[in-house]
Amino acid sequence: MQEKLVRIGVFYDGNYFLQVSNYYAYGHNRKRRISISGLHEFIRDQVAQEEGMDPRLCKIVDAHYFRGRLNAYDASQRGDTLYWDRVFDDILMSEGVTTHYLPVRTTPEGFKQERGIDVWLALEAFEQAFYKRFDVMVLISSDGDYVPLVRKINTLGTRVMALTWEFEYTTDNGQRMTTRPSQDLVAEVNYPLSMHTLIDQRIAQNDPAMNRLFVQPDQKRVTTTTDSADVITETHGEGEIMSLKNGYGFIKYPPNNLFFHFTNVIDTDFTELRVGDFVEFEITKDEEGNDVAKNVKMI
């Protein structure tokens, strides 16, 4: 008799996942963002381990991503924000993740805040679990406000796995923040995963699965045979720095502004760069095929 599939539903607290991905891109030695496809593979393997099942019988049948987002005007005032939002939407779409966005609200004091997105996630998660009868629901969040959701999900006979991280990060305005998972949430879920510890341990063990968990660098290859040669070349360019953030920036280079990471700055320190500086660089492709700058240095 065939074994039944283990049906998995994945629910992302999008702002939390963005902080996690930024941490691994800029604050962790890995210097790579979390890969959505790699994370889903990791989730299937972990669910299989916890459930004592063959990973081939553990399938993500539904995935949802929730986040507050700037309106089009505000995003257009922040460099290539609109473009990168669309790039990430394409990645989520390619992995079968349904997106849910609410507009970010501005408070009377001028602060931008998400409103209602956590309530929407909880309602959607319970509704989908009720109708689709997940065996395991995976929650990517560390917020203790989701404890009532976990209890309700358990009444359906669905187990809950929570992926949580503990780390420090720096906000856009330079404020140092620390995020820690709610211990109430960790105690309530069936399968709590302390991801920061688990990932570091498996990296130290040279676990090849960890490579797939992160976005891979753009790998250039030269293949030579008796019949053909496949050579990927780079183009030289010059331009003006138009914006700088925590560990990355954009260079004005029509028709599209070029993204660059602090690890691609040479002959100077990233912190010494200023908006308006003229730099030279090599133009190459990232993993999505977009032009980006590397070997960036002052003119």
- pLDDT exceeds cutoff 60 at 224: no
- Whether the pLDDT of residue 159 is over 60: the answer is yes
Establish how many alpha carbons lie within 13 A of residue 86's alpha carbon, considering only the half-sphere containing its beta carbon: 7
Q: What is the pLDDT of residues 99-129, one digit of tens each?
A: 999 988 776 666 667 789 999 999 999 999 9
b or e along 90-102 (b: 16 or more beta carbons within 10 Å of the residue's beta carbon)? ebbeebebebebe
Classify the C-alpha dihedral 150-154-158-159 as positive or negative. Answer: positive
Average pLDDT of span 47-64: 96
β-strands 159-164, 167-170 pairing:
unpaired
- pLDDT at position 256: 74
**34's tokens:** 């979390």
79 pLDDT more than 50: yes
Q: Which of 235, 228, 242 is nearest to 273 (CA)?
A: 242
* Strand pairing report for 248-252 and 235-244: antiparallel
Q: What is the dihedral of CA 7, 12, 13, 15, to 10 degrees?
A: 170
Under the banding of pLDDT at 50, 70 and 90, the label for residue 170 is low
Is the confidence at residue 66, as pLDDT, over 50?
Answer: yes
pLDDT bucket at 271, cuts 50 / 70 / 90: confident
pTM, rounded to two decimals: 0.71
